[in-house]
Amino acid sequence: MALKTADQYEDSLRKMNLKVYLLGEPVKNPVDHPIIRPSMNSVKMTYALAQDPQHEDLMTAKSHLTGEKINRFCHLHQSTDDLIKKVKMQRLLGQKTASCFQRCVGMDAINAVDSVTFEMDQKLGTKYHERFIKFLKMMQEQDLTVDGAMTDPKGDRGLPPSKQADPDLYTRVVEKRKDGIVVCGAKAHQTGAINSHWILVMPTIAMSKEDADYALSFAAPADAEGISYIYGRQSCDTRKLEGGEIDVGNRQFGGHEALMIFDNLFVPWENVFMCGEYEFSGALVERFAGYHRQSYGGCKVGVGDVLIGAAALAAEYNGAAKASHIKDKLIEMIHLNETLFSCGIACSAQGHKTASGTYLIDLLLANVCKQNITRFPYEIARLAEDIAGGLMVTMASEKDLRHPEIGKIVKKYFKGIATVPTEHRCRVLRLIENITLGTAAVGYRTESMHGAGSPQAQRIMISRQGNLEYKKKLAKEIAGIKD
């Protein structure tokens, strides 16, 4: 089976035995939990669209390993065309879900691990790439959702991993055995972890020799003994427990983050892809971050398309669509959104082939893309909130709207233009609230700042990749300066 259906994906999650805690309670059935299920629906969309002939070109690819048609989320990029299609696919999914669809992290992880393990084996004579390819074939054949796990809690940011008061604040090897390794630690902000079949762990920073125990990459089943999850809170998340649909804003789809804990997790050697090779940890972090920063030029743009559409509807329902300042704000939102998309396409088109054959994006442009993402969605959200008006955050509840007595009052005084039902106006305002302030903000507004690394992380990479000495040389040649 190279392609799962959406229902087969859901059924596969039901067979897993994840150890999940949410709001202080264990969750026996994550698939049907009202807070978690919308995020699972978003991942289902990655499977559903792959079955749709209309989207086959973007959603699927031909495996360079088996020749079979596979989900693009399981694919290693074999050309700049693959890199471009990735961004277009992510925009499509953002448009269809208006949220985070969670499989990007795993796709970016496999592409980074592939090229780095290949180069590691070439230099050191290790067998990591051979192990990784075996894992990748399984992922492709079973159409698995894999959670790429990079971010450690980090503790005291002024200290390296080996100097932390608590050594588990960075994920580490605590024991090496003949049959495998034992791991302790945690990964924070894990997107879609509870909706994943496997996890693919990577180091979180470039490690030194003293931190070799933390230079670690491996794969494990998401429900392996020794792994547990604490589900992250989101703004307005308990609205999903109320049984309504309007107040949630986006009732069907959502994203999630979780803290992933490793409590003496055993990993067999066949699933270990780095163990102490600290000199390659920086390259793995850099490449994964580059791929993931490219991703934001697609997914955030797709959600932005929905937010722009919602803002335009709100203006229409408010009776303000013809106002020149409203038109100008919508134009600015489109301009900013398409600029982000342009960055995602540009770093893809400028990609190049690595030693393993997998294509890597232009790292400078990928970091420029993400640097813009830390800013533009905030302005797009601000303009959407401006256009929507204050009712977006002071509106009465859905229960009030549907109340047999006060519902008439709500419908009367929350009315916009006469031709549009009050409920429609309420729905679009709640959608804007959801994307800019509510549960979808984790996949749009706030994640735009911190996802795939903080703004400063991108500025560091821009500094490294900017080739300032070459630019100085160009200036000297034009100015006639001879050293």
CATH numbers and ranges of domains, the chain: 7-79+96-279 (2.40.110.10), 283-473 (1.20.140.10)
For the chain, the average pLDDT equals: 97
What pLDDT digit, counting tens, does each position of 200-253 carry?
999 999 999 999 999 999 999 999 999 999 999 999 999 999 999 999 999 999
What pLDDT digit, counting tens, does each position of 30-66 carry?
999 999 999 999 999 999 999 999 999 999 999 999 9
Backbone CA torsion sign across 436, 440, 441, 445: negative
Residues 273, 117: contact at Cβ < 8 Å?
yes
What pLDDT digit, counting tens, does each position of 257-299 carry?
999 999 999 999 999 999 999 999 999 999 999 999 999 999 9
Q: How far is CA 400 from CA 207, 237, 307, 414, in A?
A: 56, 19, 26, 12
Res 4: pLDDT? 98
Lowest mean pLDDT of 75-79, 339-343, 436-440, name the range. Answer: 436-440
* Amino acid, res. 392: M
What pLDDT digit, counting tens, does each position of 12-24 carry?
999 999 999 999 9
Q: DSSP 3-state assignment of 39?
A: helix
Active site residues: 100, 104, 191, 257, 292, 296, 299, 447
Res 40: pLDDT? 98
Distance from C-alpha of 146 to C-alpha of 321, rounded to nearest angstrom: 44
At residue 443 the predicted structure's pLDDT band, cuts being 50, 70 and 90, is: confident
Q: How far is CA 428 from the centre of its chain?
A: 25
What does the block give as tokens for 108?
């970016």
Distance from C-alpha of 395 to C-alpha of 430, rounded to nearest angstrom: 9
Residue 441 has pLDDT above 80, yes or no: no
At residue 438 the predicted structure's pLDDT band, cuts being 50, 70 and 90, is: confident
What does the block give as tokens for 337?
């959104």
Residue 446 has pLDDT above 90, yes or no: no
Residue 396 has pLDDT above 80, yes or no: yes
Average pLDDT (351-366) is: 98
Distance from C-alpha of 359 to C-alpha of 115, rounded to nearest angstrom: 9
Res 439: pLDDT? 83
How much is the pTM?
A: 0.97
Res 2: pLDDT? 86
Q: DSSP 3-state assignment of 171?
A: coil
Number of H helices, E strands in the chain: 17, 14
Angle at 39 between CA 168 and CA 70, to 5 degrees: 90
Res 79: pLDDT? 98
φ, ψ for residue 318 (rounded to 5)? -80, -10
What does the block give as tokens for 428?
């679009």
Average pLDDT (372-396) is: 97
Q: DSSP 3-state assignment of 157?
A: coil
Residue 199 has pLDDT above 80, yes or no: yes
What percent of the chain has a predicted confidence (pLDDT) above 70? 100
**DSSP result, 244-256:** -STTTSSSS----
What percent of the chain has a predicted confidence (pLDDT) above 90? 96
